[in-house]
Structure 1
Amino acid sequence: MSEQWATLGVDLHLEPAGTGGLRRGLTDALRDAVRTGRLAPGTRLPSSRSLAADLGIARNTVAEAYGDLVAEGWLTARQGSGTRVAERAAAQPTAGPATAPRRRVPERPALSLIPGSPDLASFPRAEWLRAARRALAAAPHDALGYGDPRGRPELRVALAGYLARARGVRADPDTVLVTSGFAHALRLVGTLLAARGARAVAVESYGLDAHRALLHGAGLGTPALPYDELGTDPGPLGDEGAVLLTPAHQFPMGTALHPDRRAAVVDWARRTGGLVLEDDYDGEFRYDRQTVGALQGLDPDHVVYLGTASKSLAPGLRLGWMVLPPALTEEALAVKGGVDTVGVLEQLTLAEFLTSGAYDRHVRASRLRYRRRRDALAAAVAARAPEVRVTGISAGLHAVLRLPPGTERTVVQAAAWQGLALPGLAFHRHPEAVAEQVDALVVGYGTPPDSAWAGALEALCRVLP
């Protein structure tokens, strides 16, 4: 993606609707985006020519809608500055009776820095559509029938090649199992482990409660492992049967697992016959150096590699994969039920996206975008909140902001009043965590679209101590 192309405009998601015609529908959609805060004050809107091209409507229609909103005071238009969202004073909450003041947090925050999602507005729609057309044109007729429960062979071959090249995974297409996202994969592995007699899957002191819930649903315990400056400590591992780790970029703490501990957890698996479940959720996104290779490359017989397109493309695609130890492949297929559970067109499209080089191009462009956002976040925090530290390696789609002791809850509440959704670190802490308790925010800088990023960052800086 060239710098010139990136400066031509901003992404702006609008859905003109209603019975009053295109101009009325566009005006209403823009007004609603400003009123709800989705377009923050000062945001520069695309030119009328650019937005008209994006929406497939006449340029005059856009210009007239802009003019209506300038007249109403929602937008401003100045020569050389373009059309922008007008600055306006923040609405003050209306107090009730003096004896019982009433305050209400907005039900739907206008801005979100919740981690776990990429910038969905940057999904490569045109390139994905072209790949889908090529894949469908080339697909054999039997591809549209009941498929191999492992997934389409085109995708398994493409994934094996890509993961070997980009992540250092040692994979054979026959050991790749396509799933409906990470949660589906973890549910399958949990069921498999329970059937083999495992009693628990050890997990990290910080992580997602949804993942623990999936394992509990399979009848497995989820004891927490200690966490310190070297990452998760596998020392206490015993006969749990498996351990779930995010070694390349611990979620949410943002550290890479120390090499000594990578070796230690593999040694544990070899010694006990246990399994390491490697969640490589954002392994492509490292900004300061080449990313650390997958743990699976150290011992493919004892590591189940779990990957997904949810961070690199979009979670709505529901595309994930496992690279299984050869000895577990048949057991995993039996647990899956002997049927393919992922849409064949999505599989064929992703295979074409990978083999054509479009996936690499998209990841490189995304890497540049997210690195700039992380740099902007670090610079803004350093300038406006010197007591707050951005921690973790330069990677992924989120960062941890260490706060002064005792301030996390207050900052999260203040963010809600600013119309900003973001979690404190306590939200991701295991109930039995073996780690120092610190006050921090988990900031998903990959989540907002470009048009909302500046507003979200400004709202964040306003609430930092």
Structure 2
Amino acid sequence: MKSWANSGLDLHLDLRGRGGVRSALTAALREGIRSGRLAPGAALPPSRALAADLGVARNTVADAYTELVAEGWLTARQGSGTRVAPRAVTTPAGGTRRPVAAPLPVHNLMPGSPDPASFPRAAWIASTRRALTAAPSEAFGPGDPRGRPELRIALADYLSRARGVQADPDRTVVCAGTAHALTLIGSVLARSPAVVQAGSGTVAVESYGLHVHRGLLAEAGLRTVPLTVDENGARVGELVSSGAAAVLLTPAHQFPIGGPLHPERRAAVMDWARTVDGLVLEDDYDGEFRYDRQPVGAMQDLDPDRVAYLGSVSKSLSPALRLGWMVLPDRLVDRVVEAKGVWERWVSVPDQLALADFLASGAYDRQVRLMRARYRGRRDRLVAMLAERAPAVRLSGIAAGLHAVVDLPPGSERRVLAAAAAAGLALGPLSQLRHPDATTPPRDGVVVGYGASPENAFASALEVLCRVLATAGV
């Protein structure tokens, strides 16, 4: 078997055990086409280049190409070279030729994602071009696990100005999103309990919250205990008897129920953390998007030595970028960086540089303002349509964010989800977000996201939602 190349296109062919060189080459090409490894329309290397790669005479390759053209396996045209002929591709036994993407719902009202069509492509390209042009050569070597200094400086400036965070580039660590941040911090808490209350491997979480985040903490070896959630956020008074050394909160806009953590409860959390030498994990997952209230600043400002502030661009720009950040207490910085690794293995350095420029140029602020107005318009359309078509349901969590909770009569959540699935409508089940150890009675409801649907499909998605609620008898 020979697979080296020195010119033209690379093409791997196994000529072992196939007789003479020409017949082996012809059989190998034919089998590659038949199996689908060489797709219809794929270009083949020039005969001279393939002959050099395989260490055979050029005429041998030319003759093999000619034979396969005559058989209809290949085409050869002046100016376009030799290509695999269009033909039906036989699926190899035991599997498919290419993985098939999971089918998307016809109507997407799932929470957790922004509108992908609204990604600011032109502005991002401009930032990428400027950032790469200005970047020093060392930026393209092994990356600093803390993140590029350009991005940490830009993040500190933005978070201080827009979210009220006491941000310092030296305490800011870039990560691949909030899930990555929780994985890193969770591993530190599990392996180094002395960074918080000695001997405790327990983290308190909101009784309704993102189940994926609870799972990540559990995978790190930590136990999670639920705090009851009401219209004022988590009942943080339950922390005293929880045995927890850390707590994960969404104080700006509780996910999924909605509403900010009441100021008295914010102060109580900080009193608890100081008393037990505890740690607060603040997930500011959609702090940029508020509609009917004054901005609610980050809780981190109350005590930067007790709060690890977590954020990302997954709601404001796109989850596909895999860009997030942590503003950490001093005692956590080195441990988290050590858990991340000796070099940057998680976040693209060119994307870090692009985001730094995107922030510093004001493009990020402009995008947030644009999308805040657009999402508010969608929120208003959702509220108005449900008020008209399903006046019996109650909406919560609508003052901010990219989702609302539709509270349902007891026992009706499954019916609504079944009707939605039959109609091709994707909704978030509220029951999935309830902590399994929560002591309060479960609530029936669905979480409706108004960010992910394309603009031209949003009206029809709302129409289907109303029909689904009627079908389910709500």
TM-score normalised by the chain length of structure 2: 0.75
Q: Does 2:115 match 1:119? A: yes
Q: Is the 8 A contact 2:176 2:347 kept in 1?
A: yes
1:10-41 alpha-carbon deviations (Å, 9 max, x no partner): xxxxxxxx999xxxxxxxxxxxxxxxxxxxxx
- AA of the residue aligned to 2:188: L
Cα deviation 1:183-224 (Å, max 9, x = unaligned): 111100000111222311111101121111111111100111
Counting only pairs closer than 5 Å after superposition, residues 7-156 of structure 1 correspond to structure 2 as: 108-156=104-152
Are the equivalent residues in 1 in contact too, given 2:256–2:397 (CA < 8 A)? no
What is the aligned-residue identity percentage?
Answer: 62
Alpha-carbon distance between aligned partners in 1 of 2:252 and 2:217, rounded to the nearest angstrom: 22
Contact 2:250 2:284 in 1 (8 A): yes
Q: Distance in 2 between matches of 1:157 and 1:127?
A: 20
**Match for residue 305 of structure 1?**
309
Residue correspondence of structure 1 range 201-212 to structure 2 within 5 A: 201-212=203-214
Q: Provide the rounded CA distance (Å) in 1 between the counterparts of 2:439 and 2:155.
A: 36
Letter matched to residue 358 of structure 2? F
Q: Are positions 1:391 and 2:391 aligned together? A: no
Number of positions where the alignment pairs a residue of Structure 1 with one of Structure 2: 363
Deviation sequence 1:144-187 (CA, Å, 0-9, x none): 11122100000000000000000000011000000011111110
Q: CA deviation at 1:436?
A: 3.9
2:383 to 363, 378, 381: 378
Contact 2:291 2:376 in 1 (8 A): yes
Q: 1:435 & 1:186 partners in 2: Cα distance?
A: 26
Query: Per the alignment, in what secondary structure is the counterpart of residue 114 of structure 2?
Result: coil
Instruction: Name 1:227's counterpart in structure 2.
Output: 229
CA-CA distance at 1:237 after TM superposition: 1.5
Quick check: 1:193–1:241 contact (8 Å CA) kept in 2?
no
Contact 1:277 1:304 in 2 (8 A): yes
Query: 1:113 and 1:450 mapped to 2: Cα distance?
Result: 12
Cα-Cα RMSD: 1.7
- CA shift for structure 1 position 334: 1.3
* Counterpart for residue 247 of structure 1: 251
1:167 aligns with 2:163: yes
One-letter amino acid of the counterpart of residue 408, structure 1? E
Question: What is the one-letter code of the residue matched to 1:192?
Answer: V
Aligned-partner Cα distance in 2 for 1:19–1:400: 49
Q: Return the offset for 1:325.
A: 0.4
- 1:287 aligned partner, one-letter code: Y
Deviation at 1:243, TM superposition (A): 0.5
Paired position in structure 2 for 1:265? 269
Separation (CA, whole Å) in 1 of partners of 2:468 and 2:451 = 19
State the distance in 2 between where 1:376 and 1:313 align.
22
In the alignment, the residues of structure 2 paired with residue 179 and residue 209 of structure 1 have an alpha-carbon distance, to the nearest angstrom, of 20
Deviation of 1:407 after TM superposition, in Å, equals 1.7
- Matches of 1:363 and 1:444, distance apart in 2: 18
1:387/1:404 contact within 8 Å kept: no
User: Deviation at 1:449?
Assistant: 1.0
Does 2:339 match 1:335?
Answer: yes
What SS does structure 2 have at the residue aligned with 1:174? helix
Using the TM superposition, give the Cα deviation of residue 351 of structure 1 relative to its aligned residue in structure 2, in angstroms. 0.3
Q: Which residue, out of 319, 324, 327, partners 2:323?
A: 319
How big is each residue's C-alpha offset from its partner over 1:37-76, in whole Å with a ceiling of 9 and x where there is no partner? xxxxxxxxxxxxxxxxxxxxxxxxxxxxxxxxxxxxxxxx
For residues 282-307 of structure 1, the C-alpha deviation after alignment (integer angstroms, 9 at most, x for no partner) is 00000113320001010000000000
How many angstroms does 1:107 deviate by?
Answer: 6.6
**CA deviation map 1:347-379 (0-9, x unaligned):** 000000000000000000000010000000000
Q: Please name the residue that 1:296 is paired with.
A: 300
Contact (CA 8 Å) 2:379, 2:398: kept in 1 or not?
no
The 1-side partners of 2:349 and 2:384 are apart by 44
Question: Residues of 1 paired with 2:365 and 2:439: CA distance?
Answer: 38
In the alignment, the residues of structure 1 paired with residue 452 and residue 305 of structure 2 have an alpha-carbon distance, to the nearest angstrom, of 36
What residue number does 1:185 align with? 181
Secondary structure at the counterpart of residue 236 of structure 1: helix
Amino acid at match of 2:226: A
When normalised by structure 1's length, the TM-score is 0.76
Rounded to whole Å, the distance in 2 between the matches of 1:289 and 1:226 is 24
Report SS of the residue matched to 1:148. Answer: coil
CA distance in 2, matches of 1:289, 1:444: 20
The one-letter code matched in structure 1 to 2:129 is R
**Distance across 1 between alignment mates of 2:397 and 2:255:** 10
Q: Distance in 1 between matches of 2:325 and 2:440?
A: 31
Higher RCO structure (Cα 8 Å, ≥6 apart): 1
Which 5+ residue runs of structure 2 have no aligned equivalent? 1-38, 42-101, 194-199
Q: 1:324 Cα shift?
A: 0.3
For residues 234-258 of structure 1, the C-alpha deviation after alignment (integer angstroms, 9 at most, x for no partner) is 1121441100000100111112111
Q: Please give the per-residue CA displacement for 1:375-398, whole angstroms capped at 9, x wherever unaligned.
A: 000000000001011112411000
Is the 8 Å Cα contact of residues 312 and 324 (structure 2) preserved in structure 1? yes
Cα distance 1:407–1:270, how it changes in 2: closer, same or farther (>3 A)? same
What residue ranges of structure 1 are gaps of 5+ in the alignment?
Answer: 1-17, 21-105
Give how far 1:339 is off: 1.4
Correspondence for 2:406 among 386, 401, 404: 401
Q: Secondary structure at the match of 1:250?
A: coil
Find the aligned partners of 1:386 and 1:403 in 2 and give their Cα distance: 12
Q: Answer whether contact 1:190 1:218 (CA < 8 A) is retained.
A: yes
Distance, in Å, in 2 between the alignment partners of 1:291 and 1:393 is 14
Larger Rg: 2
